[in-house]
Amino acid sequence: MHSISKKFSKKKVFFMLASLSSGGSERVFWSIAQGLDKEKYDVTIVILNSKSNCYSTDLDKVRIIDLNTLKASKSFFALYKLLKKEKPNVVFSTTDHINMLISLVARFVKGPKYIARVSNTPSEQILFDDLKTRFYALFSKLNYQVFDKIICQTNRMKQAVLKDYETEPSNTVVIHNPVLKTELLKVNARDIKKIKLLIVARFSPEKGLDRMIDVFANLPSHYELSMIGVGRLKEDIMKKVDEFNLNDRVKFYGQINNVKEVMIEHDLVVLSSHTEGFPNVLIEALSVGLPIVTFQVSGSKELIVDGFNGFVVPQNDLLGFKEKIIQATSKVWDHVEIKREVYRKFDLENISKSYEKLIN
């Protein structure tokens, strides 16, 4: 009798995050935690700081634990005690500093299977990191050797991880990010007098927002740009907008919770990033049928089919980016088919099953 109950006992799964702020990695784990089969798994999201939550913590059959340590550098002992007490079967982690924290704790807490999700393409991201982050990156190769499995978001990222971190190919897998279902859909109600572009990004160097303003300044005057996001470069971008006399055409939203509702009020999503892991904003845009113009980054190949749901432009081709924006906003798109295709490829249920295979 004892062996039967043990056989069918649920596995305890932890998802480790710094917070539930508006980042892409946070959205992925928040989604997967909901997508796992609760008949098989007891799911917990562990965060270091609940003060900046953007995503709901009121989730069905998903427990939230706030360590209230605020920073990864101050979280070792609290996390050590938690894992010793709770004894999870599997611990998922994501983003560099959380992966580093878990790799340290894993050396002292044996038992769980530790699975790291890589959130960027290492050799590209390091070009835009500050000195502190670059210093920590020196230890990444050693840290990732501790994990039982490594999740990469694209094949391009996997190849970079295999090269830079020298992980075992058999332990390094590709799982794309999921799309969440929504009833929202972009409709063809174009205002010829006004064309509205949208960019959703953190205001940081790798997002290329400065060059987005350069491109936008050369678009016709009936184009408008909305910018959703926060970050350390926001004041610099606002200053540049002011210097180019674009204040009446550029709107800053800050951090918001209803991104998809805002998306369908626009004609096109643009992505000006120098590097990405797997751009969640593109998945969200496609999920409401909105087309995209993006520079070529990790994930753009998997997401964009030129002429069907957007256009991909070679990195640093600012003139080409401008031309594709004009082409995209002059074209009639099949918003229903755009939406249907992204769900076919990146449905949460299917992506969650890929995570479940790693657990088992």
- Supply the CATH number for residue 124's domain: 3.40.50.2000
Please indicate, yes or no, whether residues 238 and 169 belong to a single structural domain of this protein. no
Domain, as residue range, for 108: 10-175
Residue 287 lies in a domain: yes
Question: What is the count of structural domains for the chain?
Answer: 2
Tens digit of pLDDT at every position of the chain (360 positions): 444 444 568 999 999 999 998 778 999 999 999 999 999 999 999 999 887 777 888 999 999 999 999 888 899 999 999 999 999 999 999 988 899 999 999 999 999 999 999 988 776 666 666 666 666 666 778 889 999 999 999 999 999 999 988 899 999 999 999 998 999 999 876 666 899 999 999 999 999 999 999 999 999 999 999 999 999 999 999 999 999 999 999 999 988 889 999 999 999 999 999 999 899 999 999 999 999 999 999 999 999 999 999 999 999 999 999 999 999 999 999 999 999 999 999 999 999 999 999 999
Please indicate, yes or no, whether residues 255 and 293 belong to a single structural domain of this protein. yes
The pTM of the full predicted model, rounded to 2 decimals, is 0.88
Residue 182 lies in a domain: no
Residue 187 lies in a domain: no
Q: Exposure string (b/e) for 1-40, b if CB count within 10 Å is 16 or more?
A: eeeeeeeeeebbbbbbbbbbbbbbbbbbbbbbbbbbeeee
Residue 185 lies in a domain: no
Please indicate, yes or no, whether residues 169 and 22 belong to a single structural domain of this protein. yes
Please indicate, yes or no, whether residues 298 and 237 belong to a single structural domain of this protein. yes
Please indicate, yes or no, whether residues 29 and 165 belong to a single structural domain of this protein. yes
- Residues, the chain, total? 360
Please indicate, yes or no, whether residues 153 and 87 belong to a single structural domain of this protein. yes
Concatenating the DSSP letter of every residue in 90-114 gives EEEEESHHHHHHHHHHHTT--SSEE
Please indicate, yes or no, whether residues 116 and 235 belong to a single structural domain of this protein. no
Residue 161 lies in a domain: yes
Q: From CA 64, how far away is CA 44, in angstroms rounded?
A: 6
What's the longest Cα–Cα distance across the chain?
Answer: 76
Please indicate, yes or no, whether residues 160 and 18 belong to a single structural domain of this protein. yes
Residue 117: enclosing H or E segment and its boundaries? strand 113-117
Please indicate, yes or no, whether residues 75 and 199 belong to a single structural domain of this protein. no
319-to-25, 74, 269, 271, 298 alpha-carbon distances in Å:
31, 46, 17, 15, 21
